[in-house]
Chains A and B, each alone.
Chain A
Amino acid sequence: MEHITLLLAIVVVTALVFDFTNGFHDTANAMATTISTGAMKPKTAVAMSAVLNLIGAFLSVEVAKTISGGIVNEDGIRTEVIFAALVGAILWNLLTWLLGLPSSSSHALFGGLIGAAVMSAGWSSINGGTVVTKVLLPAIAAPLVAGIAAMLATRLTYRINRNVTDPNQLKSTAKGYRAGQIASAGLVSLAHGTNDAQKTMGIITLALVTSGILAPGSNPPLWVIVSAGLAIALGTYLGGWRIIRTMGKGLTDLQPPQGFAAQTSAATVILASSHLGFSLSTTQSCSGAVMGAGLGRKGGVVRWSTATRMFVAWGLTLPAAGLVGAGAEFLTKQGTWGIAVTAVILVGGSFAIWLASRRQPVNHTNVNDTDGDEPQGVVTTAIAAVQPPPAGAPASDLTTTIPAPASAPDDPARPPAKV
Chain B
Amino acid sequence: MKIDWAALASVFGVSLVVTIALVGLFTLGIVALSKQSATAGGSASGGSVALARTGAYACFGLCVAAVSYGIYLIVA
A interface residues with partner B (beta carbon < 8 Å)? 56, 59-60, 128-130, 132-133, 137, 141, 145-146, 148-150, 152-154, 156-157, 160-161, 163-164, 166-173, 175-177, 180, 183, 187, 190-191, 194, 257, 260-261, 264-265, 267-269, 271-273, 275-278, 280
Q: Is B45 an interface residue (CB 8 A)?
A: no
Q: Which of B20, B67, B75 has the most CB of A within 10 A?
A: B20
Cross-chain contact B20 with A149 (CB below 8 angstroms) = yes
- Give the total of B residues in contact with A, Cβ under 8 Å: 39
Q: Which of B1, B7, B27, B40 has the most CB of A within 10 A?
A: B27
The verdict on A191 contacting B74 (CB below 8 Å), with A169-B39, A176-B34, A273-B11 known, is yes
Contacts A141-B11, A145-B12 known; list 17 others, CB within 8 Å: A56-B74, A133-B1, A141-B8, A149-B19, A152-B19, A153-B22, A154-B23, A156-B23, A163-B31, A164-B31, A175-B30, A187-B67, A267-B70, A272-B18, A275-B73, A276-B14, A278-B8
Cross-chain contact B2 with A133 (CB below 8 angstroms) = yes
Cross-chain contact B2 with A173 (CB below 8 angstroms) = no
Cross-chain contact B40 with A277 (CB below 8 angstroms) = no
What are the residues of chain A within 8 A of B39 when measuring CB–CB? 166, 168-169
Residue of B2, B33, B74 touching A129 (CB-CB under 8 A): B2
Enumerate B1-58 residues with CB–CB distance to A below 8 Å: 1-4, 7-8, 10-12, 14-16, 18-20, 22-24, 26-31, 33-35, 37-41
Cross-chain contact B37 with A171 (CB below 8 angstroms) = yes
Cross-chain contact A169 with B14 (CB below 8 angstroms) = no
Residue of B nearest to A190 (CB): B74
The verdict on A268 contacting B22 (CB below 8 Å), with A160-B28, A160-B31 known, is yes
Cross-chain contact B20 with A152 (CB below 8 angstroms) = yes
What are the residues of chain A within 8 A of B20 when measuring CB–CB? 149, 152-153, 156
Residue of B16, B41, B71 touching A148 (CB-CB under 8 A): B16
Min Cβ gap B30→A in Å is 3
Q: Which of A171, A191, A278 has the most CB of B within 10 A?
A: A278
Cross-chain contact A60 with B24 (CB below 8 angstroms) = no
What are the residues of chain A within 8 A of B8 when measuring CB–CB? 137, 141, 278
Q: Which of B4, B30, B31, B70 has the most CB of A within 10 A?
A: B30
